[in-house]
Each structure stands twice: as C-alpha cells, then as structure tokens.
Amino acid sequence: MTQHYDAIVVGTSAGGFHALSAIVAEFPETFSLPVIVVQHTKEDNDEFLARHLNRQSALWVKEADDKEAIQSGRLYLAPPGYHLLIEADRSFSLSVDPRVNYSRPSIDVLFSSAADVYQDNLIGVILTGANSDGSQGLRNIKGRGGLAIVQEPDSAEVAYMPREAIAATPVDHVLALQEIGPFLRQFHEPILVKV
C-alpha cells in the first residue's frame, strides 16, 4: 500500500534561491499537497522570493499569514523575521520568539510543529545551506514516521546543511537537486483545476 501524504515542508538557506526555483518548476498545476518553505532571509526583505517563485511555479506562491488555513495546491513561504508554525487545526501561526540556530524563521521550528500535526503523513526536505538548522526538525519528522529527504551535498551550493541533516537523521532519500522535484511530484493526488 502506498503511503498517503498531506503536506511537504522544505528548509533551505544559502543557495536556496536557485534550489527552490529548480524544484517548484516541477510541480504541475494539479499538484494537491501544500508545500511550506522556510528560506533563511534578511528581516527587511520584501516579497521578492514569492514573486520570483510565482513566475517559476504553476502553484500559487505566497507568504503565510497568521491564522491562515493551509490549503491544498499552494506554496507558502515563512515571512522574513517570523517563525512559522503549524497549529493542530492545520492553520499557520507566526511568532517572534528568539532565534533558533541563529535563524528566524527557523527550519527546526516549522518542521517540529508540522511533525506534531501531520505525524506520518508529512514529507520533510532539507536543501542547501550554511548551518545546522533543520537537522533536529527533520529528525522529528522521521521519528513520527514521516518521509525524510535531503539534497545530495555534492549538488548543493553550500553542503553544510545537507551534511548535518544526514548526520542527524536516518534519511530515506538523498537526491541530487534535479531529482527532488520529479521525486516529490509522484506523491500528489490530482485536484480539479477550474478553467
């Protein structure tokens, strides 16, 4: 029996702009899972990343809002300067709690809250980056029975974050960047697209 998944969480830092661009271009318009992303960024950044990814992706890309209900077939970004958490009712909450792993938003915060909510119906993905943020969160996802995916360090612009994740977690798949989007695409269930 094929495992059913309800959401994908993605964490990245240095080099993430290129990596996310490559992955989101692979998602079809009918992709049904919500994709929730933490990209480490400066707090004064505007919504440039969301606008850029909207041009690359068939999915609607936006920064997550506090109390917003998570919807299928959307790609959400953590707003700069806020931790992004998932609540039990599958809505977002934003927090200005202290930085975790020198980061706000923190990948660990998103991944751990998502693991609590989605349990074994969650896919976690760690991409290129320059610190260890995400390692503990990915371990939590794997511990709840979710699927753990890490970018092959040799294909990452900055290999430190993928290497730390691999060291911390018995990951399910280590994939080159160009393999990640096609791999994730197989888990979606088509949704009706209005014409």
Query: Rounded distance, CA 173 to CA 80, Å?
Result: 29
Query: Residue 172: helix, strand or coil by DSSP?
Result: coil
The two tokens of residue 119 are: 């349990």
Identify the active-site residue in 13, 103, 113, 132. 13
Sheet holding 7-12, edge to edge: 60-63, 74-77, 35-39, 7-12, 122-126, 147-151, 173-175
The two tokens of residue 62 are: 């936006």
Identify the active-site residue in 6, 83, 133, 135. 133
Q: Are 59 and 31 in contact (CB under 8 A)?
A: yes
The two tokens of residue 140 are: 């939590």
Q: Is 6 a catalytic residue?
A: no
Identify the active-site residue in 40, 57, 106, 155. 40
Q: Is 133 a catalytic residue?
A: yes
- State which H helix or E strand residue 7 sits in: strand 7-12
Q: Is 188 a catalytic residue?
A: no
* Cβ within 8 Å of residue 34, ≥6 positions away: 7, 8, 70, 71, 72, 73, 74, 75, 76
Sign of CA dihedral 81, 24, 162, 118: positive
Active site residues: 13, 40, 133
